[in-house]
Amino acid sequence: MFAEIEQYFRTERLPHIWCPGCTNGIIVKSIVEAIQKAGLDQDKTVIVSGIGCSSRATGYLNFNTLHTTHGRALAFASGVKLANPELNVFVITGDGDCTSIGGNHFIHSARRNMDLNVILFNNNIYGMTGGQYSPMSPSGAKATTAPYGNIERPFDICNLAIAAGATYVARGNSFNTRQLTDIIYNGIANKGFSFVEAIASCPVYYGRKNKLGNAADMLKWQRDNCITKEAADRLPLEKKQGKVVTGILHHEPAPEYTTEYQKIIDKFQGGEES
Amino acid sequence: MSSVAETTQQMPIAINLSWCKACGICYALCPVKVLGPDELGKVTVIQANKCTHCKICENHCPDYAISVVGGKKS
Ligand SMILES: Cc1ncc(C[n+]2csc(CCOP(=O)(O)OP(=O)(O)O)c2C)c(N)n1
Ligand code: SF4
Ligand code: SF4
Ligand code: SF4
Ligand SMILES: [Mg+2]
């Protein structure tokens, strides 16, 4: 495994900045494994991130990387892909980055169906700024800005992505690394907007505020509370209450943006009149 | 600064202690207690011969500090 780390990471920058037991590192490794499995050329792969603890990932990855501004990773990534559709473009974003300040970019990117691979690290909190609640903090969860419990309801971001037009939507977690790698890999194969929600744990803010135990306890929570879509489909409603459904939730290919755009270019540059 | 070249190995488990942050995930999840904490809470190998190569430790170390040699691919 160390050989893969040497190949795909900027090892001179390791160890990374994330807190002990933060599972961001596990998710990043799954992304890299999916890229390796898909056989993507490192020099033709671009990884774009926004701002947040999770978005720091680009600093450690040995690809073409762009660490951009809060909520705007998808806008930068769309520009990169449109300028050079040959590139494989990934976006790493957080629940705050993607669904709060970046919510508008998110729905329109999903609708536009550009060939992007988006991985949202969902730790249910703003980690980097000290534990404020996010649009994906569960109702009742404690945060520095919700000391008596969150009175809002969270987004089901996968359902939102489907409704907005994403052509591939999946959910995984940092415990089931094999599944996580597989769903990212399958998303790469989808030519269009591929979205993966990766459940992460932030033991330092979310975990401590909500008394969820140590880093290993939080990983065991993921193990014990996530069920695959295949299993969920077979269970009666009462048995899946409170469980988080993982796996490929939606796959419905549609015309891809840069391909359609190229057709317009060809039409006018190919000598055809109007 | 560190690199994976600084690894110590006790077959089949290679550890890069300079990357370990003592989070406890690997030794809490190891099903057969091959791993345990040292006095600082960092990972240490206590009974290498019991290792089943399941790679649960390697797959869940957020800091890429463990590599299990041999066994099935993760
Ligand atoms: C325009 C702007 N507004 C606010 C901030 C402050 N800020 C930095 S990170 C962040 C939230 C990050 O949360 P999330 O995306 O969930 O990432 P995490 O740290 O949890 O991985 C905020 C509000 C900023 N950097 N820029
Ligand atoms: S604050 Fe939370 S999300 Fe940020 S590095 Fe620490 S554990 Fe991870
Ligand atoms: S999981 Fe990794 S960082 Fe955590 S104690 Fe084990 S070796 Fe150290
Ligand atoms: S490979 Fe499995 S048995 Fe061996 S040390 Fe790691 S977790 Fe324990
Ligand atoms: Mg977050």
* Model confidence band, residue A272 (pLDDT cutoffs 50, 70, 90): low
Residues A121-139, mean pLDDT to the nearest whole number:
98
Nearest Cα of chain A lies from the Cα of B31 at a distance, in angstroms, of 13
pLDDT of residue B9: 80
Flag whether pLDDT at B74 surpasses 60.
Answer: no
Residue B70 pLDDT: 81
Q: Residue A255 has which token pair?
A: 């015309």
Q: Where are the domains of chain B?
A: 13-68
Mutating to test ligand 2, I would choose from A19, A122, A174, A199 the residue with most ligand atoms within 8 A of its C-beta, which is A19
| Domain ranges within chain A, ordered by starting residue | 19-256
Say if ligand 4 is within 6 A of residue B52 CB.
Answer: yes
**B21 vs A contacts (CB less than 8 Å):** 15, 19-21
H/E run at residue A107: helix A103-112
Q: Is A265 exposed, middle or buried (0-12, 13-18, 19+ CB in 10 A)?
A: exposed
| Residue A39: closest CA among A185, A192, A190 | A185
Torsion angle, alpha carbons of A220, A250, A180, A247, to 10: 40
pLDDT of residue B7: 77
- For domain A19-256, the CATH superfamily is Thiamin diphosphate (ThDP)-binding fold, Pyr/PP domains (3.40.50.970)
Confidence of residue B1 (pLDDT cuts 50, 70, 90): very low
What global pTM score does this model have?
0.97
> HSE on the CB side for A111, CA within 13 Å?
8
Mean pLDDT lowest among A136-140, A143-147, A240-244: A240-244
- What tokens appear for A109 in the block? 């990117």
Residues A67 and A250: their CA atoms lie apart, in Å, by 29
Model pLDDT for residues A79-117, shown as the tens digit of each residue = 999 999 999 999 999 999 999 999 999 999 999 999 999
Which of helix, strand or coil describes residue A81?
Answer: helix
The whole-number average pLDDT for the span A214-237 is 97
Q: Which of B36, B13, B48, B27 is nearest to A21 (CA)?
A: B27
| Residue in A17, A123, A210 to alter for ligand 2 test, most ligand atoms within 8 A of Cβ | A123
Mean pLDDT for chain A? 97
Give the architecture-level CATH label for domain B13-68: 2-Layer Sandwich (3.30)
Using one digit for the tens of pLDDT, what is the confidence trace for B20-41? 999 999 999 999 999 999 999 9
